[in-house]
Amino acid sequence: MSKPTRPRTVAERKQRVEGILKALDKRYPKAVCALRHNGAWQLLVATILSAQCTDERVNKVTPALFEKYPEMADFASVSQEELARDIYSTGFFNNKAKSIIGAAKKLLDEFGGEIPRAIESLLTVPGVARKTANVVLGTAFGIASGVVVDTHVARISRRLDLTNETDAVKIERDLMKTVPQAGWVQFSHQMIHFGREICEARKPKCGICPVSGLCYAKDRTAP
């Protein structure tokens, strides 16, 4: 089976993207955020913890964490040293503890304990960059403020030639131009599931890939 060729015209590129999105929709019609949480605040904490850490590990830590600190105010009042011990296994625990405590204090002091739904406001909260903001707004509130770009999304977007960038912010800009806004939230969830299940970094499972017929990556293997 010959490798698909790069589309030459705008119409061909658009058709290819539409094909990729349809294939992901068919494979992952109900893809959701892998971080277990109850409400926007817990999701924000879990997303901060997920930096340089697997979702699986975070999901093992958060049940006991939220049982010990059930309210935002509990996080605001704990010492950084104690919280760091509680989240030790997620890595970078001192910085994460500082961010979570700072986020709790900021939200309580300036936002009445509510998660702001405007990305500009949410980005002022300690520990919140665009990825975290997009996760919280998209998953908790259904607000398509942007495209979540984690390691899977970044890697696969380059492999599928949806971007040539390596910087997460620039990758997001390219994806926001390519993927219809109504699909931004779902697209990120689908790409993450796709990266874990099929399009692995070292050994992509091209033989069962739903977008194999639209992929011309250099490391693509024939079905």
How do the domains of the chain map onto residue ranges?
Answer: 10-30+147-214, 40-141
| pTM of the model as a whole | 0.91
Cα distance between residue 214 and residue 212, in whole Å: 5
Q: Which of 86, 98, 105, 150 is catalytic?
A: 150
Residue type, 138: G
- DSSP label of 90: G
Return contacts of 77-84, CB within 8 angstroms, 24+ apart.
none
131 flagged as catalytic:
yes
CA dist 148 to 21, 47, 180, Å?
Answer: 16, 11, 14
**Torsion over CA: 166, 168, 169, 175 (sign):** positive
Neighbours of 28 (CB within 10 A): 19
Q: What angle do CA 115, 116, 120 make, to 5 degrees?
A: 135
Q: Of the CATH numbers 1.10.1670.10, 3.40.50.2300, 3.40.50.410, 3.40.50.720, which one belongs to the domain with range 10-30+147-214?
A: 1.10.1670.10
Q: Which of 131, 167, 170, 177 is catalytic?
A: 131
| Whether 82 contacts 94, CB under 8 Å | no
Residues 6+ apart with CB under 8 A from 105: 76
Cα distance between residue 54 and residue 49, in whole Å: 9
Of all residues in the chain, what percent are helix, strand and coil, respectively (each to 5)? 60, 0, 40
Q: What is the architecture, at CATH level 2, of domain 40-141?
A: Orthogonal Bundle (1.10)
pLDDT value at residue 2: 63
pLDDT value at residue 222: 61
pLDDT value at residue 29: 95
User: How many angstroms separate the first and last alpha carbons of the chain?
Assistant: 8
pLDDT value at residue 50: 96
161 flagged as catalytic:
no
Render each residue's pLDDT in the chain as its tens digit; 223 residues.
Answer: 567 888 889 999 999 999 999 999 999 999 999 999 999 999 999 999 999 999 999 999 999 999 999 999 999 999 999 999 999 999 999 999 999 999 999 999 999 999 999 999 999 999 999 999 999 999 999 999 999 999 999 999 999 999 999 999 999 999 999 999 999 999 999 999 999 999 999 899 999 999 999 999 988 876 5
